[in-house]
Amino acid sequence: MVVTTPTFDLVVPERRADVRDDAPLEHPRIVAREFSVFYGRTEAVVKVTMNFPHGLVTAVIGPSGCGKSTLLRAINRMNDLIPGCRTGGELIFDGQDIYKPNVDVAALRQRIGMVFQKPNPFPKSVFDNVAYGPRILGIQERGSLRDIVERSLSRAALWEEVKDRLGDNALGLSGGQQQRLCIARALAVDPDVLLMDEPTSALDPRSTARIEDLIGELRGQYTIVIVTHNMQQAARVSDFTAFLYEGLLIEFDVTGKLFTNPGQKQTEDYITGRFG
Amino acid sequence: MRRSTRKLIDRSFSGLGVMSIVLMAAALLVILAPIFVRGLGAIFFRGTVEFRRMQLEQFERGSRAAVEEETAAAAAARAPVYRMLAEFEEELSAMAAEERRQYAGQLREVRELVTELLGPAPGTPAPVLPRDQYGQTRWDRARFKLDLLLQRTEYDYSDAARMGREVRVDRARDFAGTRLEPLFDYLRAHAREMLRPRLTAYLRFLTDAPLDSHFFGGIWPAILGTLYLTLGAMLFALPMGVISAVYLVEYAGQGRLISLLRTCVSTLAGVPSIVFALFGLAFFIHSLHVTPGKSIIAGSMTLAALILPTIIRASEEAIRAVPETYKEAALSLGAGKWRAVITVILPASLPGILTGTVISMGRAAGETAPIIFTAAVSVGKAVELFQARFWEALAQPTPALPWNIYNLATEHEAVDEIRHVQFGMVFVLVLLVLLLNAAAIALRARVARRLRG
Amino acid sequence: MSGEEHPSPARKRRKAPSGPASSEGLHGRRSSLLLSARASRMRRAAGLAGNGTLLLITSSSAIVVLFIFYFIFKDALPFFRLQGLGEFFTSTRWYPSSHPAEFGALAIFFGSALVTLGAIVVAVPLGVSAAVCLSDVLPFGMRQAIKPVIEILAAIPSVAYGFFALVVFAPLLQEGGGRIMALCTWLLGAPVAVLSTVILADLLAGRASPRARAGVRVVALAALGACWVLGLQILAARLGQIEVASGTNALNVSLILGIMALPTVVSVSEDALQAAGRELREGSYALGATRAETILRVVIPAAGSGILAAVILGVMRAIGETMVVWMASGNAAKIPVPWYNLLEPVRTLTATIAGDMGEADHVTGSARYHVLFAMALGLLTISFACNLASEWVLRRAQRKRGA
């Protein structure tokens, strides 16, 4: 495997200045402190301590089974669905440990949206898919729903393609369109954070490029955490990168630095393709 | 073993498999064919003038003028029969006493058969029961009666080792030499003119009330009763079944309690239907006193208990088939568990649930045993549901197709005379069930297409 | 809450990460992340109440099962108190309405067992070979075409089967029972005869010395073939002589019950065969086995417990069936002579309950009423045991596969 030198051409240029600086880390959106996730007895994420910077894209990479998806799903407590899943340490969002018992999980999830590995639109119309979240928030009025749907679809760069078939079943869209629809659906509740769990792994290269462009456009407006097994993708889209191996956080740094000058041997081995 | 032999065994093995499937299909065909053919015969048959007369007089259908004209024509053709009978009676009175006794019994038989075939002789007072007021209304029955009239059956016991053999004897031979002898040739030659068979489509068989314990008329009350019982059962079983399925899949962990509940569901599925009948009688009627006796509501409840496990299983399967990612997506948008179930999971599994529901509706419609003691009566009016007192209508017993099929086929006073009604009922019931199943298959195909697309 | 309140998301867009996270300008309707203690309690209570309600509804099937057992047992008990156990299980004298009444149900239990056995003899070979054919022999398209046949067989109401048995099949059997049986003997016997003759001749020839092989084969073929033809002819002639006194008998009911149990047997054993897995089959094919050898030696043993479960479920279907036996079994409460004589009428538990309740209902509280519940208890016990057995067998099979 050839190591690509990460280029930041895809990233909006003026951001680079901020990124080189470590300043964003002082104002993190999400903070993990000694955070662990257990499935029964196995510890999938081991005492991870890191900051997810505000308004930037953080990539989480690592070989399969390293706990990167688990970490991501822990951020909006999707792991609650898995029986026998426990956590340790703290995961702080907005100044609150989200694993405290009195946390309103539904409210949390509204503020931390998620995009899944495989596009998973509901078997409903395009409109109903996007309007699903706002409706949960209690917005019933058709006009404002329409506004939100249009805005969300535009932001997900899908509006032009689907504006004439908002009533069609979303399962009739192409895979890439479905995934952008899922992003639009997540944006419709106006979250602060967007979690993306290998959002392009089920897509063809063209659709992947569109999604990556989209991530570039959303950067700055949302705090984005993206899990990917594709290192070029991580290099292309992210500002910061975390490398996880067997549940441990091996390295966390500015993306450019991590890929060109990794501080750890394991990281280097991984990004040069010696394992994983 | 030689290779050719191994191959032969292999081939014959496949042949055996194919043969068993062919046998199965053949069994289905053998069972369905008579039900369909003879069942359709209840609706499409060759009706005689007696049928049209009955329709006019009992149901006020058809043109009076046409029927009267036809009746007159038939009466003209029948006149020689009555004349010959009268002449023979004269002849009889002139005979010696012993000879007269010998003929009297046979004459009585002939007269009875003529009455059965053609209806009461002109001039005799009209009988009370509708069944006695008309001759044979169906040409196939008429032909059968005519056969009885032309030939009588004797049993030959000459071979002591075997059972008696049937021998048919021409009645013309019995009356040879008398003035009644030509009657039989006349009947044979002029049966059509006397009864005037014509192809008839009695579609109202489905919507008519029965007349004179199913001798005439249709089967509407039974159809209606079956529909009420089926829908009533669904009314109880569907919500309970779907909620149970949701709970078993979405809410419950893998605890002891759940495995116990599952065992209960499968136990319930295995309980023989006749036990449900006793349970319905002992629980709903004798203990809960839902109604003082048999009623639609008690029957529906019993049927609901019977189909509950089917619905639970089908719904469970349908809910499990919904991709987990739908639920995750809903939850990640901040939906609560309830909301995810109602807005995403249930709609996505609805076709599957409906498929199971429709199949269990078929089951409820066809079950006989559970309603024997809880709902069904053999004779009854169509239940008017939309009357002032809704509850009272539901508290009535009702005729229902499955029960009436049993009743008419085994307990009716003239089982053989109304075979066509029995076949008609079986046909309608089977058709109803098959249509429900076809709907289920179509639904399933649609789901499969959608999951693919 | 109206749409106007919904603030434009643009308002809160931050150009760049700047300063500490501020949640100002978020949706007005958005609640705080933390619940107050009271809201939290309320929510927990609501969740508990909702869960409880759901559990209650879900338990309804368990409650029904419990009630069924309770009510049947409650009404069965007085019978045993009145009449004791002995007569019920050991006597064959069933005269519930005479004075004094006799309640010997042995013949009725026997009748149920006999027709169930007959049904199994029909349904299991036919059903299992059809299942094998569906899962291993036929192409996928054919399978889709045949599935509806099985579904229709399963869907036809039992009263329609009963009506067919009584009105169509019974007269046929009564008129030409002997001839039908002779014909069936030939139809079923001939393929078996040809096949076994060829195979046996081949085996014998294989033992002979190479020079004599052809001769041995011819002789063996001729001898075995002659034996078979003679045997079948004698059997068919014997059966052809039989006069069927009444078409409503155990044979009629067994056949129809067998057909009714077929769909259950086919679908459950097909599932079991499918579950045996492709790898297993491919392993066997890779060793050069033919399809028949693969199925007989590898697939069927692997799916054995599933097939056993299918048989048990078929038994349950046959033993619990009411309408067919009530209409077409002849309803004579006696053990046929000899016991395997299927041409005599029998009476079963289900038919007795269905038939006698109409009269016994007027005399609620009498032994005559309670004896029917005692029979229902017997039926319930049998089907419960069968059910547990089939579950146990299936679960064991699953564990075996999982391991």
Q: Is the pLDDT of residue A31 over 70?
A: yes
Q: Find where tokens 């046909």 sit.
A: B427
User: Is the Cβ pair C320, B272 closer than 8 Å?
Assistant: yes
C403: exposed, middle or buried (Cβ count in 10 Å: 0-12, 13-18, 19+): exposed
Average pLDDT over chain A reads 84
Q: Is the pLDDT of residue B382 over 80?
A: no
Any chain C CB within 8 A of the CB of A15? Answer: yes
How far is C309 from C37, CA to CA, in rounded Å? 53
For residues C322 and C253, is the Cβ–Cβ distance under 8 A? no
Task: Check residue B245 and give its pLDDT.
Answer: 93
Region B403-413: mean pLDDT is 91
Task: Check residue C365 and give its pLDDT.
Answer: 67
Task: Check residue C64 and give its pLDDT.
Answer: 92
- Convert C346-365 to b/e letters by CB count within 10 Å (16 or more is b): bbbbbbbbbbbbeebbeeee
The string of pLDDT tens digits covering residues C180-208 is: 888 888 888 888 888 888 888 888 887 77
Q: Is the pLDDT of residue C28 over 60?
A: no
**A136, A174, A181, A182: best mutation site toward chain B, by most B Cβ within 10 Å?**
A136
Task: Check residue A9 and give its pLDDT.
Answer: 36
How far is C360 from C356, CA to CA, in rounded Å? 6
pLDDT band at B9 (very low <50, low <70, confident <90, very high): confident
How far is A76 from A104, CA to CA, in rounded Å? 11
How far is C79 from C369, CA to CA, in rounded Å? 8
Query: Which of the given ranges, B33-42, B164-173, B443-452, C302-311, has the highest pLDDT on average?
Result: B33-42
For residue A67, what are the domain limits?
23-271
pLDDT band at A58 (very low <50, low <70, confident <90, very high): very high
Region B82-99: mean pLDDT is 87
CA C356 to chain B, closest CA, distance in angstroms equals: 11
User: Is the Cβ pair B13, C67 closer than 8 Å?
Assistant: no
How far is B120 from B126, CA to CA, in rounded Å? 7
Measured between beta carbons, the chain B residues lying within 8 angstroms of A187 are none
Residue C35: C-alpha distances to residues A112, A274, B190, C31, C50 (Å): 17, 48, 96, 9, 19
**A12, A221, A222: best mutation site toward chain C, by most C Cβ within 10 Å?**
A221
Chain C residues within 8 angstroms (CB to CB) of chain A: 1-4, 6, 9, 12-17, 19-21, 23, 26-27, 29-37, 40
How far is B194 from B121, CA to CA, in rounded Å? 13
Q: Is the pLDDT of residue B93 over 50?
A: yes
H or E stretch at A168: none
Least confident of B229-238, B400-409, C131-140: C131-140
How far is B422 from C294, CA to CA, in rounded Å? 49
Measured between beta carbons, the chain A residues lying within 8 angstroms of C17 are 18, 24, 27, 53-56, 220
Task: Check residue A84 and give its pLDDT.
Answer: 82
CATH number of the domain that residue A35 is part of = 3.40.50.300
Percent of chain B whose predicted confidence (pLDDT) is above 70 = 96
Any chain C CB within 8 A of the CB of A100? Answer: yes
Task: Give the domains, in start order, of chain B with CATH numbers.
Answer: 48-198 (no CATH), 220-452 (1.10.3720.10)
Any chain B CB within 8 A of the CB of A82? Answer: no
Region C239-261: mean pLDDT is 89
- Nearest chain C residue to B424 by CA distance is C160
Indicate whether A102 belongs to any domain: yes
Q: Which amino acid is at B52?
A: R
Indicate whether A14 belongs to any domain: no
Number of domains in chain A: 1
Q: Where on the phi/psi map is residue B333: left (φ > 0), alpha (ψ -120 to 50), or beta? A: alpha
Q: What is the ipTM of this complex?
A: 0.92
pLDDT band at C230 (very low <50, low <70, confident <90, very high): very high
Q: Is the pLDDT of residue C386 over 80?
A: yes
Region C370-393: mean pLDDT is 91
Region C340-344: mean pLDDT is 85
pLDDT band at C361 (very low <50, low <70, confident <90, very high): low
pLDDT band at A266 (very low <50, low <70, confident <90, very high): confident
Average pLDDT over chain C reads 84
- The terminus-to-terminus CA distance of chain C in angstroms comes to 57
For residues B367 and B402, is the Cβ–Cβ distance under 8 A? yes
- Nearest chain A residue to B348 by CA distance is A123
Indicate whether A202 belongs to any domain: yes
Measured between beta carbons, the chain A residues lying within 8 angstroms of B446 are none
CA B327 to chain A, closest CA, distance in angstroms equals: 9
Indicate whether A11 belongs to any domain: no
For residue B169, give both structure tokens: 């004897």
**Residues making up chain A, counted from first to last:** 276
Max CA distance (Å), chain B = 107
Q: Which amino acid is at C399?
A: R
Task: Check residue C254 and give its pLDDT.
Answer: 94
Task: Check residue C347 and give its pLDDT.
Answer: 92
Region C246-257: mean pLDDT is 91
Task: Check residue B126 and give its pLDDT.
Answer: 84
The torsion of the CA quartet B233, B239, B240, B246, rounded to 10 degrees, works out to 140
How far is A259 from A236, CA to CA, in rounded Å? 11
Task: Check residue C343 and give its pLDDT.
Answer: 87
How far is B116 from B108, CA to CA, in rounded Å? 12
pLDDT band at A265 (very low <50, low <70, confident <90, very high): confident
Indicate whether A58 belongs to any domain: yes
Query: In 10 A of CB C86, how many CB atoms?
Result: 9
Task: Check residue A24 and give its pLDDT.
Answer: 57
pLDDT band at B434 (very low <50, low <70, confident <90, very high): very high
* Model confidence, pTM: 0.86
Task: Check residue C16 and give its pLDDT.
Answer: 38
The string of pLDDT tens digits covering residues B191-203 is: 999 999 999 999 9
How far is B117 from B132, CA to CA, in rounded Å? 10
Q: Is the pLDDT of residue C14 over 60?
A: no
pLDDT band at B276 (very low <50, low <70, confident <90, very high): very high
pLDDT band at C10 (very low <50, low <70, confident <90, very high): very low
Q: Which of A231, A241, A137, A233 is nearest to A189 (CA)?
A: A137
Q: Is the pLDDT of residue A13 over 90?
A: no
Indicate whether A7 belongs to any domain: no
Indicate whether A109 belongs to any domain: yes
Q: Is the pLDDT of residue A6 over 70?
A: no
For residue C91, give both structure tokens: 């006597």
Q: Is the pLDDT of residue B213 over 80?
A: yes
The shortest CB-CB distance from B333 to any of A124, A171, A189 is to A189
Task: Check residue A275 and give its pLDDT.
Answer: 67
Task: Check residue B52 and give its pLDDT.
Answer: 93
Q: Is the pLDDT of residue A168 over 50?
A: yes
Task: Check residue C203 and give its pLDDT.
Answer: 81
Q: Is the pLDDT of residue A122 over 60?
A: yes
Task: Check residue C27 and give its pLDDT.
Answer: 47
Q: Is the pLDDT of residue C114 over 90?
A: yes
Task: Check residue C278 and give its pLDDT.
Answer: 84
Region B50-56: mean pLDDT is 92
Per-residue three-class SS string for C279-314? HHHHHHHHCCCCHHHHHHHHHHHHCHHHHHHHHHHH
Q: Is the pLDDT of residue A42 over 50?
A: yes
How far is C382 from C388, CA to CA, in rounded Å? 10
Task: Check residue B56 and give its pLDDT.
Answer: 92
Find residue A28's DSSP bridge partners.
A53
Any chain B CB within 8 A of the CB of A122? Answer: yes
User: Is the Cβ pair B406, C327 closer than 8 Å?
Assistant: yes
Average pLDDT over chain B reads 88
Indicate whether A174 belongs to any domain: yes
